[in-house]
Chain A
Amino acid sequence: MKPDVVVVGAGLAGLSAAVRLAEAGASVRVLAKGVGSTHLGAGTIDVLGYDAHGGRVDRPLEALGGLPAEHPYGLVGRAGVSAAIEWFKGRVADGPRAPYAYVGDAEQNVLLPTAVGAVAPAGVVPETMAGGDLRGGGRVCVVGFRGLKDFFPALVADNLSRGPDGVTARGVELDLRPEGRADPNALAYARAFDDEGFRADVVAQLVARVAPDELVAFPAVLGLVSPHEVWAEMEHRFGRAVFEIPTLPPSVPGIRVYTTLAQLLTRAGGRVVLNNVITGAERSGDRVRTLRVRVGLREVTYAPEWVVLATGGFSAGGLELDSNWVTHEVALGLPVAGAPAPGSERFGADYFGGQPMDRVGVRTDHEQRPVGEDGGRVVENILVAGATLAGAAPWREKSGDGIALATGLRAAELITGDAAGHVGDVATAGA
């Protein structure tokens, strides 16, 4: 009832921390303004896709050593990253979508098509996407649906054909719409794929249009409830590798991640409570005693032993830059590090080329407690995880999932006392 731990934020970092804590026997409540960004991402767990110079990373664990000294991966080290990936794979395999599983590891990236047919490195991926690793080249039939306006098979195929060596692709569009929706999106198609009749229609329309030597790519809509079964059936029917390509939001593989973690949390006795916005905290001594939370028109208080702050970065509203050019950590007003000095440039001219605000966030000590400018710990019982942390540029590095997962889990383990000792920075950790 009265939770020992309040986790703030229902994204990958917050949910992972909450599941880990609840499964260790802690009473946990996740308070969040709304559902996190899992619904928007591709559903892959990417550890590191690009290095500091923008070069594509093939072996992410090895490449961690090249990251800046204050990168959040330094909190967890290579061993922490690997352990987090294995934990995630294990929980998915044991979760409500089983036998749906993730494949791969943090040692080696794969190269998967994106929603527009570019290729990008990915870390640990749903089994339903693994067949899309195009490093070896190949011929691909990209299947789309006339009713699914968020996925254009011709565009994807065209871009793929210009992309990796030895890949030729062509698009095929099926005229099949799920019933019962005005404007079917990826989720509507995924629900349709859970239905045997719809799958039979897909196979019937498609089977004659696929060449014998082509792999078959679908938008990532191969089932919401039973993705493993749907995907396996498709592979069986077509007798070859079938794989999903991520779509624009809503992301069905991302929804699978959210429902998996949320249901694991419920199973372990924890709970996500939405529309709860942290407005402040009262502290006594070096600990926060109560959290003030706005629920509707009312303010309530929580008095947890521990708080895991996983509210995200600027895009999620965990951090903000106000009109006076001052950066804030929104929920608790923790010190924010890495912001450009007053008077200096805030924004660079090249959007994708690195921005002065890139690595802004809450800096912590090695036990994930927030620190002030002098490096001293400012509070004992708040641990920070995920995109709120300073030091990373996740959208350029393609490192957000790995950071969220690994720092979320480590925050949980620091609370339960299961954490390994300080791992040192990534340059030396595991080396």
Chain B
Amino acid sequence: MGITDKLSHSQHDHDPPDVLGDLMRGTLDHCVKCTICETFCPVANVTPLFPGPKTVGPQAERFRVRGEESQDHSLDYCSGCGVCTQVCPQGVHIAEINTQARAKLKERDGFSLRDRIIARPPLLGRAGTPAAPLVNKTLASRPLRLLGEKLIGVHHAAAVPTFAGRTFQGWAKKHQSPPAARRVAYFHGCGANWYEPVVGEKTVGLLEAIGCQVDVPRGQSCCGLPLQSNGQFDAARRYVRTMAKRLAPAARAGVDILGTSTSCTLMLKREAREILDLMEDPDLKVVSEHMYDICEYLVMLHDRGELALELQPLPMTVTYHAPCQQQGHGVGKPALELMALIPELTVIENDAVCCGVAGTYGIKVEKYEIAANVGRGLFDQIEGARPDLAVCDSETCRWHIEGSTGVRTVHPLEILHRAAGLSSDAELRAPA
């Protein structure tokens, strides 16, 4: 075979060892115990309760016969941020292996009421939305939160979202996206639906402004990520398959699906297929192939010279934290690239792998302090920068950052929306 052939070989003809494919558990054999993952693990670096991803992962996995649960309960203290997998030079799926092992552990020990509740955002959303003012007051009341901590184990000081009292779905039903040359579908997730409909509305608005017809597939519920993180795999599979079924028609029509919740787009793009063993699920597969994080998609358009967006000067200073789950996409930091297009905007990039909350992890009474300690370095950076706003792609991280620093924290899309002249400063700075 000549070199010309070698360089243009087909993918199968010369494929590197399968380290990111479907032999996920087998990747643990690639572990050389180099400890690089442990140096990056944000949890092991702040608590003796978690010995580190290598220890509970590739090391312990050798003693876990497939199908048997872990003997090591420290596994439960993994936050699932996924940084270990990202940094591993050998391609070991450390976080994914640990998530599966944790599920076995939980299955044996049983799921607490707390974990059943907080892992089901739609349940909370449906219960809380009609009585939003009352529920929000309750959630803001320290005595009631202390009671809640005693009763179900959600830390009283943990940042929890505010119910919007309306849903994004309600808005979307009434909204007619004008026909346009490019069609996209919007995967809104639970965060935009129940708590931050404004993020969803702005996303649709911005996409329309750049020449997209935005379809919002009906009946979207939860992607199942919180269930997966809390080890409830059966329920997670039901949720994610339902979600995939709703989104699959768009994907099959060749329409790209964009999401503003970066952890949920990652769930549908990769995690559910790998972790929940749904690699070949037909709906999920086609959805996975068309799923993009919103900033990833916009940068892709920009690189092709197809992002028709006129951005006005935005003379303010913001910090940007790329959440751990956003980094799991492996696409760099597209939010930074987009914000760099905005004249007069000063963006300070934070240097932190995780804010600590990792979805539902940091609101649990036994993990709240760990999450606070994980995030401390990030919070110090944000507070030290005295920014007008903090920016972050993930909703749970935004709530955690805002709750910990007092700095208003927004999705990068909201910054773009403002710079595109589609919203005012006041709208950007005021809580939704």
Contacts and interface: CB of A to CB of B under 8 A. Distances in A.
Interface in A354-413: 372, 378-379
A250 B86 CA distance: 17
Interface of B is mostly: loop
Contacts of A278: 16
Interface stretch (B185-193, B237-245, B331-339): B331-339
Nearest to A382: B7
Nearest to A300: B331
A168 interface: no
Given A273-B331, A295-B330, A378-B3, A33 B35 contact: no
Pick from B16, B328, B373 the residue with the most CB of A within 10 Å.
B16
Given A181-B45, A296-B20, A333 B87 contact: no
Interface string B34-51: 111011100011111111
Interface stretch (A36-44, A65-73, A82-90): A36-44
Interface in B341-389: 349, 351, 373
B398 interface: no
A273 B302 CA distance: 19
A299 B269 contact: no
A297 B16 contact: no
Interface residues of A, number: 58
- Interface hub of B20, B89, B351 (most chain A Cβ within 10 A): B89
A282 interface: yes
A298 B289 contact: yes
Given A33-B89, A181-B48, A279 B330 contact: no
A270 B390 CA distance: 22
B48 A180 contact: yes
Contacts of B49: 182
Contact of A292 (B11, B34, B86, B274): B11
B55 A183 contact: yes
Interface in B281-302: 288-289, 299, 302
A330 interface: yes
Output the residue of A35, A36, A328 with the most chain B CB within 10 A: A35
Interface stretch (A103-111, A116-124, A152-160, A184-192): A184-192
A277 B89 CA distance: 11
Interface string B15-26: 111011000000
B342 to A, nearest CB: 14
A39 B34 contact: yes
Given A33-B89, A250-B38, A296-B269, A320 B9 contact: no
B120 interface: no
Contacts of B270: 296-298
Nearest to B10: A280
Contact of A317 (B74, B89, B327, B333): B89
A294 B38 contact: no
B39 A274 contact: no
A378 B327 CA distance: 35
Contacts of A328: 14
Interface string A1-35: 11000000000000000000000000001001111
A276 B331 CA distance: 8
Contact of B288 (A182, A271, A297, A320): A297
B8 A281 contact: yes
Contact of A1 (B47, B48, B52, B337): B337
A34 B87 contact: yes
Q: What are the nearest 7 A-B pairs in CB distance?
A: A34-B89, A333-B6, A182-B51, A275-B330, A295-B330, A378-B3, A296-B270
7 contacts: A35-B88, A179-B48, A182-B49, A185-B35, A187-B39, A275-B86, A333-B7
Given A188-B45, A298-B289, 19 more contacts: A1-B299, A32-B89, A35-B89, A39-B35, A180-B46, A181-B47, A263-B351, A274-B87, A275-B85, A275-B86, A276-B330, A288-B7, A297-B270, A298-B270, A320-B17, A328-B14, A332-B7, A333-B7, A378-B7
